[in-house]
A and B are shown apart, each in its own frame.
Chain A
Amino acid sequence: MNLDFSDDQKALQDQVRRFLAARCTSAAVRAVAEGPQLFDRALYAGLAEMGVLGVAIPEAYGGLGLTHLELCLVAEELGRAIAPTPVASSIYLAAEFLLQAGTEAQKQAWLPKLAAGTAVGAFAFAEGQGETTPARIKTVARGGKLTGEKAAVLDGDVADVAIVAARTGEGDGPEAISLFLVDLAAEGVTREAVTTIDPTRSYARIAFKNAPAEPLGGAGEGWHIASQVLDRAAILMAFEQVGGADRALEMARDYALDRMAFGRPIGSFQAIKHMLADMYVSATLARSNCYYAAWALSAGAAELPVAAATARVSATQAFLHCAKNNIQVHGGMGFTWAFDCHLFYRRANALALALGSQSVWEDHLIARMRAGNAAEAA
């Protein structure tokens, strides 16, 4: 048994960390948060050049052909750096959809561009408020044309192509839903930027009006495929969350060592030490759950659905916990725009919602454990 990454994988991680330390500085993140650009194009091109966007994409489609274990570690570093890039949308989601359900022609058409960073993909799923269920998907596909509106699609305004979940059948069941590949430059697509709690990333509402769309995967299989890909993406995003949690903890620790009050570093007060210890505990539990999920993802294990939900719930909890207490440790300074604490707080809360909210994933976890128990008992 070995629940650790290999030396080669850690070397790659280290290389990405050094690259991001140089290129994805606080100033670079703030430039996106405060400026007109929607993401850091130079940084994204740099990541593509290093090969990390396509690290888990087969060589035949322009990737490096390594495994998802390497991609997990890349994700951890992107999370640490709260990178203002569309990696999650384009790689964890769009590329995974293509790999899982795309035809050879669809893979050939898009994967090399996604790996090279010359095209960006996104997943348009949620509509309106509340948990996304088959019944809540009202966007309709008829005769190769899509009509409907998607709410707050992550990277929806910078994407060239979107995977869209739409209704092809009647009723509230999952078999009514199919997936479509949509060129977002096509006629009938309008996009409107949305203001969100995390201005380091861009979101857009997308309206389709008889927009041309080609099927991705079989008719009526959309919900099933989406669940599988969301699980895979949840594991990768959980690594981002663990990276972010660790960085928020480090920021709080460094500040506690540096900041003097009552004639002592504040990090010598038990109230602060114990808060930091608890942050360490949640970050460590999340990391361990993520390692297990990384194994399940790379091995294609039957445990993947439970492992994914476990990693997701645990990592969401850890990043939220570390990000909010990072502000608390910083005191008033933590609530200034000038300090980076709020950038992590924003990202932690945005990621907690990005693939479905915490309560939804808690539900997934227990439902899957029940199903596993029932299978074991049978």
Chain B
Amino acid sequence: MDFNDTPQEAAFRAEARAWIAANAPKHLEAELKRASFGSNGIASEDPLKAAKAWQKKKADAGWACLHWPKEYGGGARSAIERVIWGQEEGVYGALSGPFVIGHGMCGPTVMSWASEEHKRRLLPPLASGEEIWCQLFSEPAGGSDLAGLRTRAVKAEDGSGDWIINGQKIWTSGAQHSDWGLLITRTDPNVPKHKGLTMFFLSMKTPGVEVRPIKQANGKSEFNEVYFTDVRIPDSQRLGAVGQGWEVSLTTLMNERLSIGSGMSTGFPELFRLCMEMEIDGRAAVDDRAVRSKLAQFAVRQSGLKYTGMRAITALSKGETPGPENSIGKLVAGATMQELAMFALDLQGQSGVVWDETSPQNGRFQAMLMRSPATRIEGGSDEILRNIIAERVLGLPADVRVDKNVPFKDIPTSGRTKS
């Protein structure tokens, strides 16, 4: 057990720190400190432009996608070095938002399943932020039951080998500014649902692709609907075999949970600051014993997540693969964020209802309150994560699946009951 850097780690940290000090966009620092849910806090310039500029600068100097091989635009660094980089990058890490899905999920999937030629074409601009990727998985009829998806891919009748896509995706983060998408489709409705899926990638500028922002419950629009109308994709853009889409998607989903779960913020430091600054009956809120008790309960969850992450990094650095136990990250962080936001508003009393610039910390807790329901659903709902822990970590039996071994076309759905 040791929290100190090895000499090599210390050398890497010094190098990273010096480069960041010389190159980071310091004029954005104050704004980035206000980064909150779904926003990097930047108002003085185009936030996406600022994000892309920092990513490109990092890529040019070899600091982008540190753990990827160099030939794909990465830095060929170790897991530990990636963590050290994150610590040193600090607030500027909030500029990585638009790339999280591409770097964390689409990239690893392309790396595992695409041809060498495609990897060399697609991955470097993904690493450098010049091209943004989105993940076209969830559908109105396939969320937690992802394999229930209905977007069809059918071979073109002209003998070209191309695929024609028709259907609809939903909850696609960042589709509105994405260049590429990772798309899972149904190619065979006559076999059980997991067996009839096929994965593709496509340019989001392909004719027939239409992106419509969703107005969310919190009033923002991070997520989109994406419609496919007779969209033609060459067979060379298929990832994995026809019918192997489920297996390919698991690469993405496991990476999704790793990248979403690690280092997720719960809002605890901000709540602690609120309790230090806010007054109740002329005393700091933290002087109230009930407040301290509540704070302590949030504190141990926050630190438990932090050190669970460090244990995963330790395993990585020993060459072990972090397993499904990392599912706890998002499960704990999502629920904590929501409870914590409710507690922060409760402390504000009747004024907690106000969500404007007079609210403590510029309305951070009101924003958290309204964003947190999504955190408990996106990237695997709380219930799916509990199933994963129960089945894959604790070894409990899988759910009884009434749609198992039933051809997809015969499975009852909300709009199509069994006759």
Neighbouring B residues of A1 by C-beta, 8 Å? 2-5, 9, 80, 83, 310, 313-314, 317
Q: Complex Cα distance A56/B314, Å?
A: 25
Q: Complex Cα distance A363/B291, Å?
A: 10
Instruction: Give 1 or 0 for each of B223-241: 1 = CB within 8 Å of chain A CB.
Output: 0000000000000000000
Stretch from B16-24, B159-167, B293-301, B366-374 forming part of the interface with A: B293-301
CB pair B386 A274 closer than 8 Å: yes
Stretch from A13-21, A24-32, A309-317 forming part of the interface with B: A309-317
Neighbouring B residues of A4 by C-beta, 8 Å? 1, 311, 314-315, 318
CB pair A292 B307 closer than 8 Å: yes
CB nearest to B382 among chain A residues? A274
CB nearest to A312 among chain B residues? B300
Q: Which of A268, A291, A373 makes the CB contact (< 8 A) with B1?
A: A291
Query: Is residue B395 contacting chain A, with contact meaning CB distance below 8 A?
Result: yes
Q: Complex Cα distance A367/B286, Å?
A: 9
CB pair B301 A363 closer than 8 Å: no
Stretch from B33-41, B128-136, B179-187, B396-404 forming part of the interface with A: B396-404
CB pair B303 A273 closer than 8 Å: no
CB pair A281 B307 closer than 8 Å: no
Q: Complex Cα distance A71/B151, Å?
A: 58
Stretch from B93-101, B112-120, B325-333 forming part of the interface with A: B325-333
CB nearest to B287 among chain A residues? A370
Among residues 275 to 316 in chain B, which have CB atoms less than 8 Å away from a CB atom of chain A?
276, 286, 289, 292-293, 295-297, 299-301, 303-308, 310-311, 313-315
The smallest C-beta distance from B337 to any residue of chain A, in angstroms, reads 15
CB pair A366 B328 closer than 8 Å: no
Query: Is residue A59 contacting chain B, with contact meaning CB distance below 8 A?
Result: no
The smallest C-beta distance from A45 to any residue of chain B, in angstroms, reads 31
The smallest C-beta distance from B401 to any residue of chain A, in angstroms, reads 11
Neighbouring B residues of A69 by C-beta, 8 Å? 1
CB pair A292 B303 closer than 8 Å: yes
Query: Is residue B348 contacting chain A, with contact meaning CB distance below 8 A?
Result: no
Instruction: Please classify the interface of chain B as helix (H, G, I), strand (E, B), loop, or mixed, using the class held by over half of its residues.
Output: helix
Q: Which of A2, A264, A273, A361 makes the CB contact (< 8 A) with B2?
A: A2
CB pair A365 B396 closer than 8 Å: no
Neighbouring B residues of A276 by C-beta, 8 Å? 390, 394, 396
The smallest C-beta distance from A297 to any residue of chain B, in angstroms, reads 10
Query: Is residue A289 contacting chain B, with contact meaning CB distance below 8 A?
Result: yes
Q: Complex Cα distance A76/B211, Å?
A: 54
Instruction: Give 1 or 0 for each of A260-295: 1 = CB within 8 Å of chain B CB.
Output: 000011011010111011101100111011011011
CB pair A284 B328 closer than 8 Å: yes
Contact of A366 with B304 at beta-carbon distance under 8 Å, contacts A264-B400, A276-B396, A295-B1 already known = no
Contact of A362 with B293 at beta-carbon distance under 8 Å, contacts A270-B387, A284-B325 already known = yes
Q: Complex Cα distance A284/B389, Å?
A: 12
The smallest C-beta distance from B127 to any residue of chain A, in angstroms, reads 25
Residues in chain A within 8 A of chain B (CB atoms): 1-6, 69, 249, 253, 256-257, 264-265, 267-268, 270, 272-274, 276-278, 280-281, 284-286, 288-289, 291-292, 294-295, 298-299, 309-310, 313-314, 317, 359, 361-363, 365-367, 369-370, 373
Can you give 17 A-B contacts (C-beta < 8 A)?
A: A249-B394, A253-B394, A265-B397, A267-B397, A268-B397, A270-B386, A273-B396, A274-B390, A284-B325, A285-B300, A285-B301, A291-B1, A298-B1, A362-B297, A365-B296, A369-B272, A370-B286
